[in-house]
Structure formats: C-alpha cells, structure tokens
Amino acid sequence: MRALLGLSRTIDAFNTVVGRWVSWLIVAAVAISAVNAVVRKLFDMSSNSFLELQWVLFSVVFMLCSPWTLLSNEHIRIDIINHSLPLKVRGWIDMIGHVFFLMPFAIILLWWSIPFFLVSYHQNEQSFSAGGLPQWPAKALIMIMCVLLIIQGISEIIKRLAMMVGAIPDSNASAQSAHSAAELEAERLLLNISGDKK
C-alpha cells in the first residue's frame, strides 16, 4: 500500500503542477480577447486566428485542468444527497464512480480520440475560416486530457482504497474537503446576509 500511495502522491503532484501552470492561460486568453476587441473597434481590423486562439486557450484550460479539478474534489456531484450519507457509503460511491464510470469513460474516449487526431494531423486539417488556425493541435487536447484523467483516476482509486482499509484518513470526514469552494463561498454569503438583516 505504501508504494501505491507513493505513486498516488507522484500523480497528484504532477497534475497539480500541470493544472496550476495551464490555468494561467486564462490570463492569456483574456489579454488576446481584449487586444482583439480594441483593434477591431479602433482600427476596424480583426483576425480569425486570434478569435480561434481564444477558443483553443479556453479549451486547453478546461481540458487539461480537469484532472486537477478531480484531485481538488471540485468536480460536479450531488452534494446535497452525498453529505447526508454515512462516510462508508460515500466512500463506496466514490470508488464505484471512479472504477465503473470515470475510468471506462476516459479509456473509451482516449480510444476514439486517437484516430480522430491522427486523421486531422495527416490531413493537416485547417480551420474553415479564412486565416484560421490548424485544427489538429486542438484535437490532440482530447487525447492528452484522457491520459491525464486516467492517471488521476488511478490515483483517486488508490487513495479511496487506502481510506477504506484505514491506511490514510477519510477525506470525506474533513469539513473542508467535504464542501466545494463554491459551497463554502455560498455559506459565507448567506451568513453575511443573515448578519446584515440583524
């Protein structure tokens, strides 16, 4: 179990580094969008490549940060129901979700995305818009996302198994990890509102 947990920590560290660095591309996308808007308004000029670059940068962030989202326990789930269940049941729900839903989905998507990318790459597929970007780099993102999700899924399964055998503390037992950042912010706002009414 110790070796598996070491592997899990390595995967977690890798996807954290990828997620943190890739998330900065949001700043680049905003800057490109702002410059493109200013140039279009002031000089009546525009570029399809800059428009498409914004979309690609957003796609990079969305896809390559998804394993980091899973690691941070910020993925979408029905928390209202989940938090009312006993810890053991929550653990089994996580394990079943990772093994029977996340992993098969990511593996099947990877399997289908490889020929999807290869056809585009061999054809040097270009944008339908004049002056647009090549399409194959964006299609490669699907494969990369699937690989990162699969290895993060392996890490999550290892951690859940370790929690079930008592090798590490159950993350569901922690109030901080049991609530997403959005839920914590909503609770803070509700407390502020109720305090203002008093």
pLDDT tens by residue, the chain, 198 residues: 889 999 999 999 999 999 999 999 999 999 999 998 888 888 888 778 888 999 999 999 999 999 999 998 877 766 667 777 788 888 898 899 999 999 999 999 999 999 999 999 999 999 888 888 999 999 999 999 999 999 999 999 999 999 988 888 877 666 444 455 555 655 666 677 666 655
- Give the burial string for 99-109 (b: 16+ CB within 10 Å, else e): eeebbeebeeb
Distant-in-sequence, close-in-space partners of 31: CB < 8 Å, separation ≥ 6: none
Which has the closest alpha carbon to 133: 124, 143, 145, 142?
A: 124
Which has the closest alpha carbon to 26: 56, 49, 58?
A: 58
| Predicted pLDDT at 132 | 84
Mutual angle of helices 136-164 and 87-97, in 10-degree steps: 150
CB of 168 closer than 8 Å to CB of 8: no
| Predicted pLDDT at 176 | 46
At 182, list the tokens. 């959005």
Rounded Cα distance, 25 and 177, in Å = 26
| Predicted pLDDT at 175 | 44
Rounded Cα distance, 72 and 15, in Å = 10
Domain boundaries, the chain: 2-197
Residues comprising the chain, all counted: 198
Whether this prediction's pTM lies above 0.85 is answered by no
Distant-in-sequence, close-in-space partners of 66: CB < 8 Å, separation ≥ 6: 75, 145, 148, 149
CB of 103 closer than 8 Å to CB of 151: no
Mutual angle of helices 25-43 and 2-23, in 10-degree steps: 10
Neighbours of 17 (CB within 10 A): 11
Q: Is 73 left (phi over 0), alpha (psi -120 to 50) or beta?
A: left
Tens of pLDDT, residues 116-150: 999 999 999 998 888 889 999 999 999 999 999 99
